[in-house]
Structure 1
Amino acid sequence: MDAEEVTGPTETGDWAGRHVCVAGIGLSGRAAARVLAERGARVTLVESRDGDGERAHAAGLEALGIAVRLGDGETLPEGADLVVASPGWRPDAPLPAAAAAAGIEFFGEVELAWRLRGPGPTGEPAPWLALTGTNGKTTAVRMLTGILKAAGHTPLAVGNVGTPIVEAVLDKTYDVFAVELSSYQLHWSSSVRPHAAAVLNVAPDHLDWHGSFDAYAAAKAKIFAPGTVAVVNADDPPAAALGPAGCTGFTLDVPASGQLGVVEDLLVDRAFVDDPRTSAAELAQLSDVRPFAPHNVANALAAAALARAFGVPPEAVREGLRAFVPDPHRISHVATVGGVDYVDDSKATNPHAAASSLAACRSAVWIAGGLLKGADVEDLVRSAADRLRGVVLLGRDRARIAEALARHAPDVPVVDVADTDTGAMDRVVTEAAGLAQPGDTVLLAPAGASWDMFTSYGARGDAFAAAVRRLAAVTPGGG
């Protein structure tokens, strides 16, 4: 559906008199409630939790004339004629069912942002360059933002990162948005139409939310709207299958016509050039990609493809990648102790991400475990078996990884750390150090979420780094 075909209120439409239910009092929900209230809508925000934090947020919203109902996020407010949901609202939750039964439209804050888009510096709404995928979204969208800045644009990274998108699209400062979109956000969107969009990869994740891999992949595919320049990872069959015929691909191999790829030590473009059959544009060197790992080169190629689809010159791709500073907990080197590298990739919260991280190691002592969220680890363990020096397991679902290791890597030593107290990571790192030999990498790439033991993947990575530093302090020649 084209943006012009969207029914209902838009930025220039009439929100006054609408009774909008906003579901969720998180950052995006609060932003949506404020923006809608400013446009004259009568807003009722509902939230199932009722703690001190929620009450503090509610007081701020109520001061703006927004009604807030805590402790009940399942019942549709009387008289509501639209529901705008935070991205994590499950499809099988009572509120979406109640809206459907009442014939009331239910969508997410990304869809609201698309319908609310205001004029940018040119007087027209700023275009969106969008990314989705199981892994690498934040890294790729930040690479894209840097490339766009190097080309002289005024971009902003939004969506699943940064400023709430419903606020950002009303700011006339930005001439282009680099939009990270999760499967949740895409599920609750219907008319979003990016200028260009890319799917980095698709592997089983969030199956407990979507219900099946096919439903998860279908949500990802919604990023490709009519008229959108579609970009897919040609090396990832599930991602490639989502693209329309004739779409642009990126590959770690030598690119065919219509692709971006790698030739010797160069990233090259054979898609967005005058004659893709006979010419190519040099974009950057492999050494310009940091941290260097095969999956990060793929992220860089995806970012470059979106930038090139937007008309960015090759030299800006190189400048943007050289200026990129990786976020913490993404293949971050913590220390070298006794000839062993200790690497924090706590952001590897699913098997696909962990597989990519392990693939960058010649010989690894793997620290794994956490919440698998219904994901299968068989392929991960099978693919990594020949590079494992040892494994240290922690977290709630560690037994499932242990079972896969017994089947596919029976000769690899495995240490099970059942502890969950504040000293657990010190024991994990000590056990890993005991398994490692000089030249090995002790790699925290858990393949699971962190919430069983830590408040976030960042807290898990911080605990790992702190434990490594304590190990270095007591190891002769460490550091």
Structure 2
Amino acid sequence: MGSGQVTSSVPSGPSEFQGKHVTVAGLGVSGLPAAKALHARGAIVTAVNDGDDARAREQAAELEALGITVRLGDGATLPEGTELIVTAPGWQPDKPLFLAAERAGVPVWGDVELAWRLRGPDAAPWLAVTGTNGKTTTVQMLASILKAAGLRTAAVGNIGVSLLDAVLGDEKYDVLAVELSSYQLHWAPSLRAYSGVVLNLAPDHLDWHGSMDAYAADKGRIYEGNKVACVYNVADPRTEDLVREADVEEGCRAVGFTLQAPAVSQLGVVDGILVDRAFVENRQKNAQELAEVSDVDPPAPHNIANALAAAALARSFGVPAQAVRDGLRAFTPDAHRIAHVADVDGVAYVDDSKATNTHAAEASLAAYEPIVWIAGGLAKGAEFDELVANSAKRLRGVVLIGADRALVREALARHAPEVPVVDLDRTDTGAMLQAVTEAKRLARPGDTVLLAPACASMDMFTNYNQRGDAFAAAVRELGA
């Protein structure tokens, strides 16, 4: 962990943008508030957007009514005179607009960078969370813990609540629980969190980042300039490597979390108790009990890891142990995240439709045994050999659905040839009822039928929520 003195970005007032030609790239959740905020601060704003659909035209009309120039269907050309680009996080770095900006020496910020620079002099510090999986759950747990400590807070960022809205709104916060994607971190060069965590790293969004190293480096940006703690996953050494590479404020510490008994400067688990050996007096000899494993809902291994990460960030902010326990007890997970749907004839049915990549699915599969696994969908370039090899011993049977199910089937043939597989050659939404029916046939009392697809849902469903709802509806029909 580097030890250079890093100063936070000086909050910007209206004067920084007065008369400045700013291009906002992409409308939507981040583009609309960015364009409005810049316009309100005197910038000459041009908003550009690739799409020209009804939603984009509606948003364009809203901006044009304010006097903002909007170009729909043309997100590739750099508007003349542009001095700064503020981009939606999903726009890839190799887009022609950004290549043109690089040639012209025009800086590119994301909405997170803009929010960071616009925050006021008494702005709430940020406790920041990233990782391949578990970000939203961890941020929600963190916000619940902070609220239990009596702090004014909100879960914001990639979680759906705009950081710009949080920073510029009338409500005053003591601290913010901030979820950040790799996309957002890529475009946030001056962000300096109070404390940050990388929960885990697994191949994801490599088409956007170009390589695993580039993806990891963008995740690692969350540690730059941390003030109190860089929190890492002991079970994932790559996260600790990112801490070592970070340039942080003097006195910032590396703090690990583990599902095992914690070493000094770690949080971990001892005899079913979550304990802290990082934020205690005389941590060489002492540990602080925080909560019981049973206080975590659900108490699956990867969710306990999320709870420990949230607790570490909260403790770095001075939150007492009792608030960690109370916050975890008060936390209710979102739908479609290892959610128990029902028990039918002695078999548990669990919906983890949110497991849209192999890393998330492997964590979900590790929580149960024996399992009838429902998997498949859009693979997004993923490979399934490691997932299947690591989970094979837990599998009673597998039901495959979706466009890329053959990739999963081939991995099963290589690493779990003895496991019975039902391959459903259909991609209509009604396939889920047949999948659940086939899973029931394979399952025995005491088993878990687990929807953890390891794939995206858009080949058959609008999103993972609709896929999970279809699974739950099929289970209810089964038990009717």
Q: What TM-score comes out, normalization by structure 2 length?
A: 0.95
Contact 1:35 1:167 in 2 (8 A): no
Q: Distance in 1 between matches of 2:304 and 2:433?
A: 33
CA distance, structure 2, for counterparts of residue 364 and residue 427 of structure 1: 18
Cα separation, 2, equivalents of 1:48 and 1:5: 31
Equivalent runs, 1:5-44 vs 2, <5 Å: 10-11=12-13, 13-44=15-46
Kindly provide the amino acid, as one letter, of the partner of residue 12 in structure 2: T
1:224 alignment partner in structure 2: 223
- Larger CA deviation: 71-80 vs 367-376: 367-376
1:431 aligns with 2:431: no
Deviations 1:315-352 (A, max 9, x none): 10001000001100000011111111110000001101
Give, in whole Å, the separation in 2 of the partners of 1:448 and 1:422: 15
Aligned in 2, Cα 1:447/1:11: closer, same or farther, shift over 3 Å?
farther
**Structure 1 residue aligned with 2:112:** 110
The structural deviation recorded for 1:79 is 1.4
Tell me which residue corresponds to 1:47: 49
Q: Distance in 1 between matches of 2:199 and 2:8?
A: 28
| SS of aligned partner of 2:168 | coil
Instruction: Give the total of aligned pairs.
Output: 467
1:93: Cα distance to partner?
1.3
Q: What whole-Å deviation, never above 9, does each CA across 1:191-216 have from its counterpart, x for those lacking one?
A: 10000001111111111111111111
- Which residue of structure 1 lines up, in the alignment, with residue 70 of structure 2? 68
For 1:89, the aligned partner's letter is W
- Mapping 1:32-431, distance limit 5 Å: 32-119=34-121, 124-171=122-169, 172-228=171-227, 229-244=229-244, 247-431=254-438
Cα contact 2:8–2:190 (8 A) shared by 1? no
**Stretch moving more, 223-232 or 173-182:** 223-232
CA distance in 2, matches of 1:88, 1:329: 24
RMSD between superposed Cα atoms in Å: 1.4
Structure 1 contact 203–238 (Cα < 8 Å) conserved: no
Shift of 1:14: 2.3
Render the CA deviation track for 1:82-119: whole Å, top value 9, x for unaligned. Answer: 10111101111111111111110012111111111124
Residues 420-478 of structure 1: per-residue CA shift (max 9 Å, x gap): 223111111111111111111110001111112111111111111111111111xxxxx
Q: CA deviation at 1:53?
A: 1.1
1:261 touches 1:269 (CA, 8 Å); kept in 2? yes
Measured against aligned partners, the alpha-carbon deviations of 1:108-156 in whole angstroms (never above 9, x if no partner) come to 111111111124xxxx111000000111000000000000001110001
Cα distance in structure 2, aligned partners of 1:84 and 1:188: 9
Structure 1 residue 371 displacement after superposition: 1.8
Please identify, of 224-233 and 173-182, the stretch whose mean Cα deviation from structure 2 is larger. 224-233
Contact kept in structure 1, 2:8 and 2:225, CA below 8 Å: no
SS in 1 for 2:350: strand
Q: Aligned pair in 2 of structure 1 residues 386, 100: CA closer, same or farther (>3 Å)?
A: same
Looking at structure 1, the residues matched to 90 and 259 of structure 2 have their Cα atoms a distance apart, in angstroms, of 33
Q: Is the 8 A contact 2:8 2:192 kept in 1?
A: no
What code does the residue aligned with 1:368 have?
Answer: A
Change (3 A) 1:56 1:3: farther
Q: Which runs of 5+ in 2 are unaligned?
A: 246-252
What TM-score do the two structures reach when normalised by structure 1?
A: 0.95
